[in-house]
Structure 1
Amino acid sequence: MRRLTGPATRSDERGAIAILVALLMVTLLGFAAVAVDVGMLYAERTQLRNGADSAALAVAQKCAKNPNGTDCATTSSLASGLANGNANDGLSNIQSIVLDKANRTVTVNAGSQEAGKEPNQVSLFFARALGLNTAQVSASASVAWGSPVKGTTAFPVAFSICQVQGYVDGTLQLLQNHGSNANADCNYGPSGAAVQGGFGWLVSDPGICGGLIDLAASESGSDPGNSYPSVCTATLNSWAASISAGKDVVVLLPVFNKVSGTGSGAVYGLISFAAFKVKGWKFSGNNSLPDSFQNTTSNVPSSVACDGNCRGIIGSFIQYVSLADGFTLGPVDANGATIVRLTQ
């Protein structure tokens, strides 16, 4: 007797194919969830991280300038505005602002926010087929602030404290290191042009315009010459190009309150870093770059012009909060610059 198995076998095959298609659909939906939903979650977290970074940096900058100000607080509206501004839909949720003024740190924790939805939740799309409707997304950023106590200077110059104390923010000054009675009321050292007046030359580290400065240690060595160190040619040309283009050139330079020794044997007692906005200079009898720049009355007021036998640097001390890296931070110094930077 012949056994009739054809129709039953085809039915089994169709059933198997249906099951296989169903399994493949689940798999494809899983891949779609990974490709679309995870990508969306990554973008959301990036926005939150940018917002948290901006908020933490802004709060730290406010604290560096005024620790008792309204924006140096755990309720800072500035933080919320910046966090929202970095979200594509303009919405985010500041979960908390952890502020430690004693140790000069702030941490901002931000979460996602959808209109009319619970905080910190992001709606998913394809993952709903797998029973996942939402996911929690958050990010945090930590920032520290303080005055620099150790780091590499951008130019081998140290200023006298009497030029920094009591300055009017942004007012141009001529700081001389040579010339008759140069800054006569600002002599913290022995007689001798190298360590007298508004500033003194430091000895650059080999091959560097400037060098590592540690306020905890006195800086030994002074360059008693008129001219700038030859290793600083590129730096001065770069400054001139930036100033000519209308850009600010602000450098953090050390401040001394005493000098011992003379000439190349001078030793500076350093106490802080100051923010100095450079306008011009004259470091030799040559009236062209890189020796001189914007030092005459055609560029600056006559009260700060530096011509003839004058040797000096023209600029202004300013209140400045920098994002500079590479400095060791300490307590905020009233006479110095302040730095804020991300730590997490």
Structure 2
Amino acid sequence: MWRLEQDDPERGVVAPLTALLLVGVLGMTAFAVDAATMYSEHSQLQNGADASALAIAQACAATPPGPDCSTPKAAAGTMSNGNALDGHSNALTATVSGSVVDVTVQSQDPGGNNHFSLVFARVLGIDIADIRASARAEFGPYSAIDGVPLTFSQCESDPTFFKGLQFFPTHGSGLSQDPAYACEHQSSSGHELPGGFGWLKDPDGGCKMHLDINDPWVEAKPGNSVDSACDSLFADWKTELEAGGTVEVLIPIFDTACPSKGTGTDPCADAPAGKYFRIEAFAQISIRGWHFNGGGTTYFTPEAAALKKGLKLKNDDEGLYGEFVKKVTLAEAATLGGPGTYGDMGVQLTK
């Protein structure tokens, strides 16, 4: 009797193994393709939510309030659809509570169903996904800004003036009149704007200036000596720098210097009595060191010390060592929540 013998015991396993592998491949494809399309959908929804919240907040901040403020959900629907590539989205909620606008939008397919249809994931039994995005905006009067009580001239806010690490001398320092550092031109008041920076009055003694962006005049501090109240601030800067951290500060930039109150059409007619600067923006400076006499302090990072040596600075050359980061507008530096004294309203995306 003849017997059938099996020469290859593994024969026939290719088909089921291929089937199993295809399930894994399809699963990974589903994850890769559908995850990418879901990410794109969420980005569109987030753009729509952000745009909706800002548009509604701007309408509420207007005088009188715009129609979008009273019909926020309709406004959110229009804005979110406009930010969707297929023109379809669902404004789930859009509310105005006090000075806060909250918007949540949801994905919607062309058939009007409030979900996102998947493609490859259907193989795994997952047909749809619920994708949502939310945003919050606030509106109201701008509040004042607290900052370091010193100010730069407007021409020194020009990014072309700052090239890498710089030494910023105080007004009156010999180096501030050097051609490499001189920054003198006529201000709108007709008075010369000196190079370097000057100290501002610190009425509260906390080493900070207080600026209302709707009335941006700040009084100059007599003399060039640093206020002793700033010693603790310098100590904090030193601690942070020695720990390898970064110290970035906003320093006011003035566009008008008024040695006294003007009259008539003189821009200084708007200034209070006394010596005042009108602040037009802020310079964001990354601090590397400083040197002040008359009760001030001194600290240099290694790179600041090298710059001091390279410039052959003397003991009476007082100022800051740092690098210009960017120019910041008053509105960018301010926060919302101030009194509506001057009627100026702002809008900020907060979430």
TM-score under structure 1 length normalisation = 0.51
1:53-132 to structure 2, matched below 5 A, reads 53-66=50-63, 68-101=65-98, 104-119=99-114, 121-132=115-126
Q: Percent identity?
A: 35
What amino acid is the match of 2:38?
L
Residue 52 of structure 1 corresponds to 49
CA 1:130/1:323 → structure 2, altered by over 3 Å: closer, same or farther? farther
Give how far 1:124 is off: 0.6
- CA spacing shift, 1:212–1:263, aligned 2, 3 Å: closer
1:39 maps onto 2:36 in alignment: yes
- Are 2:140 and 2:338, in contact at CA under 8 Å, matched by a contact in 1? yes
Of 130, 134, 138, which residue of structure 1 is paired with 2:132?
Answer: 138
1:150–1:212 CA contact under 8 A, matched in 2: no
1:311 aligns with: none
TM-superposed deviation, 1:105: 0.9
Change in CA separation of 1:61 and 1:203 when aligned onto 2, cut-off 3 Å: farther
Q: 1:148 to 1:204 in 2, by over 3 A?
A: farther
Partner of 1:186: none
Task: Please give the per-residue CA displacement for 1:223-260, whole angstroms capped at 9, x wherever unaligned.
Answer: 89xxxxxx969x79xxxxxxxxxxxxxxxxxxx9995x
Superposed displacement of residue 69, structure 1: 3.6
Number of equivalent positions:
215
Corresponding position of 1:280: none
Partner of 1:333: 340
Question: Partners of 1:144 and 1:215 in 2: how far apart?
Answer: 19
The unaligned stretches of length 5 or more in structure 2 are 155-187, 192-196, 202-207, 223-251, 257-268, 282-328
Q: Report the Cα distance in structure 2 between the residues aligned to 1:31 and 1:131, rounded to whole angstroms.
A: 14
Measured in 2, the distance between the counterparts of 1:55 and 1:155 equals 38
Q: What pairs up with 1:1-344 in 2 under 5 angstroms?
A: 4-6=4-6, 9=8, 12-14=10-12, 16-66=13-63, 68-101=65-98, 104-119=99-114, 121-151=115-145, 213-215=210-212, 221-222=219-220, 259=272, 263-264=274-275, 324-331=331-338, 333=340, 335-344=342-351
Letter in 2 for 1:128: R
Which SS does the other structure have where 2:129 is aligned?
strand
Counterpart secondary structure, 2:78: helix
Per the alignment, do residues 323 and 99 of structure 1 end up closer, same or farther by CA in structure 2, a change over 3 Å counting?
farther
Task: After TM superposition, give the deviation of residue 332 of structure 1 in Å.
Answer: 5.9
Q: 1:50 to 1:151 in 2, by over 3 A?
A: same
Assess, with a 3 A threshold, how the Cα gap between structure 1 residues 127 and 178 changes in structure 2: closer, same or farther: closer
| Contact 1:203–1:221 (Cα < 8 Å) also in 2 | no
Deviations 1:150-176 (CA, angstroms, capped at 9, x unpaired):
23799989xxxxxxxxxxxxxxxxxx9
TM-score (norm 2): 0.50
Conserved? CA contact 1:274–1:337, under 8 Å: no
* 3-state SS of paired residue (1:38): helix
Distance in 2, matches of 1:215 and 1:232, equals 14
CA separation in 2, counterparts of 1:205 and 1:81? 49
Structure 1 residues 25 and 67, CA, compared in 2 at 3 Å: closer, same or farther?
Answer: farther
- 3-state SS of the aligned residue for 1:325? helix
Per the alignment, do residues 144 and 67 of structure 1 end up closer, same or farther by CA in structure 2, a change over 3 Å counting? farther
Post-superposition CA distance 1:243-294 (Å, at most 9, x none): xxxxxxxxxxxxx9995xx534x799xxxx999xxxxxxxxxxxxxxxxxxx
Give, in whole Å, the separation in 2 of the partners of 1:22 and 1:34: 18
Distance 1:36 1:323 in 2: 45
Q: 1:156 to 1:267 in 2, by over 3 A?
A: closer
Conserved? CA contact 1:66–1:72, under 8 Å: no
Letter of the aligned partner of 2:101 in structure 1?
Answer: V
Q: Distance in 1 between matches of 2:63 and 2:125?
A: 50
* Distance in 2 separating the partners of 1:68 and 1:263: 40
CA distance in 1, matches of 2:189, 2:219: 16
CA contact (8 A) 1:111 1:139 kept: yes
Structure 1 residues without counterparts, runs of 5 or longer: 158-175, 180-201, 225-230, 237-255, 276-321
Query: Deviation of residue 338 (structure 1)?
Result: 2.0
- Paired with 1:4 and 1:257, the residues of 2 have a C-alpha distance of 110
Q: CA RMSD in A?
A: 4.5
Determine if contact 1:98/1:107 at 8 Å carries over to the other structure: yes
